Amino acid sequence: MTTTYVKKFDGNTAALGRTLVLFGGTSSEREVSLRSGAAVLQALQAGGVDAHGLDVQADAIAKIEAFAPDRVFIALHGPGGEDGKMQAVLDWLAIPYTGSDHAASALAMDKLKTKQVWQSVGLVTPEYASLAENSDWQAVLDSLGGQGFVKPAHEGSSIGMSVVSTAQELKAAYEKAAHYDAKVLVERRIVGREFTVAVLNGVALPAIGLKTDHVFYDYDAKYVSNTTQYLCPCGLTQEKEAELQSIAQQAFAAVGCKGWGRVDFMQDEAGNFYLLEVNTVPGMTDHSLVPMAARQSGIEFNELVLEILAQTLV
């Protein structure tokens, strides 16, 4: 597996026309999206692109129509921006946009359905169960080996997630996650190392290993903590990293994603990889992982943003 990335953008910013960066929104990931959008907008303007920003609110569609952009850079995270809704609007308006289409975005946003797709093509993801108010908490936990990882099905940035090892903890974690989403799942907890692989224009970039002193790589570890370690090179052998990159590309394609994104993994103590989720609009902040992986491939942040936007020219 090669991690060599050949830049696609030829430097002709005039061909990009007027670009609108969408960020903010109303999801629980709004603050992260505001930071991503600001960084993307600054990079585009620094690169000579006629770029403008829009904080997406209830009147977003009218404002997009009035602005009449030639293309859109989507920097929205979470429901309303990463789940296919905005992509469908832009398809209807015939405006090219960055990243995956509405169908792939909607599928990837649903962690439960994504796991089912991966399982259908033979890709490995942790065993899981759907949760409800009347779940038999102990029976569910026992079926998953005694430890679980509870997640809202449609949230990102580790929002609403918990690690559990008792029936009481599982019930409390369900109630916490249900505050964010009507659909909640619990996975068997994989104890081991965490990795992420960015995919850019069909190329799997160098993997990043994640190390945190938190119980898991939670919201604080991602966006606030200064103790989280990002390992790139990731510490895997060349063969194991190639295996990880190959799985990432297969998982990305199975969901129908395109353009750019990020696939997250756990590796157990025996060295086996387990797919966790795919992100179709990953963060683009100073703590974000796709820019780190791109930098390892010789692509600086401003160049990365132009590479992503240039996908809309195809």
Distance CA 309, CA 131 (A): 39
| Residue from 29, 187, 218, 307 carrying the catalytic annotation | 29
Catalytic residue among 187, 188, 283, 307: 283
Of residues 217, 223, 241, 259, which has the active-site annotation?
A: 223
Catalytic residue among 187, 241, 277, 307: 277
Choose the catalytic residue: 30, 71, 189, 262. 262
Pairing of strands 71-74, 128-131: unpaired
Inter-residue contact 108 to 255 (CB < 8 Å)? yes
Tokens read off for 39? 């960084």
3-state secondary structure of 98: coil
Catalytic site residue 283?
yes
Distance (Å, whole) CA 189 – CA 166: 13
Q: Reply yes or no on whether 223 is catalytic.
A: yes
* Choice among 36, 100, 157, 288 that is catalytic: 157
Whether the CB-CB separation of 163 and 125 falls below 8 Å is answered with: no
277 is a catalytic site residue: yes
Dist. CA 69–CA 65, nearest whole Å = 8
Catalytic residue among 264, 274, 288, 307: 264
C-alpha–C-alpha distance, residues 139 and 10, integer Å: 57
Instruction: Give the residue numbers annotated as catalytic, written as ranges.
Output: 29, 157, 223, 262, 264, 277, 279, 283
